[in-house]
């Protein structure tokens, strides 16, 4: 993969999957722009001192003006990878409208706004580009969303939006895709589910490889896909 001198935004880039994909992008020669909200995210980010990493503070991705400002600060955008989101579970009888809207904001609204600004920026740069979003297994297999219905619905919106957007911007040589992970093998998920068979979960490095291809110039034809990245789970 050759990302030499290509500008890439990675939202959620300070998380486990984000750290993996940013590392791969840097190895491939990319310039990475990583938004964050809390300073602690930046402080623990292992790539923070890399000269080809720009950390963008105060980046609340559900706020239109802040998202617009973020993308305005990136010159000649090639790709935008959207990992930012949130998870919540619980029975529907105990859920409030606020709980639902939080999931919609964290997962779908952030994706929508970042995609909108990425399309503008890639068009302005010329030469086409790539957008990759992150859905989830319940976005494709709705019954697996039992007990987390608001989350499943918000991620299903991401999946449908990604496919619709891919058709809309194909004429601009912008290829839009999404991945749909099952439970990722991260320290936080292991702690939350200590009795699970962690060996079956997809590793963040493995999922990052799929993201890298979809965001790269070597991907010349794949668009409108929601790619299951389940591992053996």
Q: Tell me the backbone φ, ψ of residue 44, rounded to 5 degrees.
A: -95, 0
Predicted pLDDT of residue 2: 94
Edge-to-edge strand list for the sheet holding 31-35? 53-56, 31-35, 7-11, 77-82, 129-134, 174-181, 226-229
- Write out the chain's pLDDT in tens, 233 residues: 899 999 999 999 999 999 999 999 999 999 999 999 999 999 999 999 999 999 999 999 999 999 999 999 999 999 999 999 999 999 999 999 999 999 999 999 999 999 999 999 999 999 999 999 999 999 999 999 999 999 999 999 999 999 999 999 999 999 999 999 999 988 889 999 999 999 999 899 999 999 999 999 999 999 999 999 999 88
Catalytic residue among 3, 45, 71, 151: 151
Calpha distance 114→131 (Å, rounded): 10
Predicted pLDDT of residue 164: 98
Looking at the domain covering 7-229, what would its CATH class be?
Answer: alpha beta
Predicted pLDDT of residue 185: 85
Closest CA to 66 of 58, 78, 55: 58
Predicted pLDDT of residue 92: 97
Predicted pLDDT of residue 201: 92
pLDDT of 82-131, one tens digit each? Answer: 999 999 999 999 999 999 999 999 999 999 999 999 999 999 999 999 99
Catalytic, 151? Answer: yes
Q: Which residues pair with 33 in a beta bridge?
A: 9, 54
Supply 23's token pair: 């590392």
User: Any idea where the domains of the chain sit in the sequence?
Assistant: 7-229
Predicted pLDDT of residue 233: 86
Predicted pLDDT of residue 20: 98
Predicted pLDDT of residue 131: 99
Calpha distance 11→134 (Å, rounded): 11
Predicted pLDDT of residue 1: 86
């Amino acid at each position: 993969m050759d990302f030499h001198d290509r500008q890439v935004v990675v939202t959620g880039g300070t998380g486990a999957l984000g750290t993996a994909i940013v590392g791969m992008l840097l190895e491939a020669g990319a310039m990475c722009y990583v938004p964050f909200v809390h300073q602690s995210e930046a402080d623990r980010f292992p790539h923070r001192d890399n000269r080809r990493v720009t950390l963008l503070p105060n980046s609340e991705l559900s706020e239109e003006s802040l998202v617009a400002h973020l993308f305005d600060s990136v010159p000649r955008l090639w790709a935008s990878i959207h990992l930012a989101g949130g998870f919540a579970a619980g029975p529907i009888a105990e859920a409030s409208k606020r709980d639902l809207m939080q999931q919609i904001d964290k997962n779908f609204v952030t994706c929508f706004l970042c995609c909108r600004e990425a399309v503008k920026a890639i068009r302005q740069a010329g030469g086409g580009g790539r957008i990759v979003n992150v859905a989830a297994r319940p976005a494709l297999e709705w019954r697996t969303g039992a007990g987390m219905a608001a989350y499943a619905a918000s991620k299903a919106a991401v999946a449908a939006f990604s496919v619709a957007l891919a058709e809309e911007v194909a004429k601009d040589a912008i290829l839009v895709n999404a991945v749909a992970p099952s439970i990722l093998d991260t320290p936080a998920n292991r702690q939350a589910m200590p009795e699970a068979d962690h060996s079956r979960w997809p590793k963040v490095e493995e999922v990052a490889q799929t993201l890298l291809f979809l965001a790269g110039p070597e991907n010349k034809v794949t668009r409108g896909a929601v790619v299951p990245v389940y591992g053996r789970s």
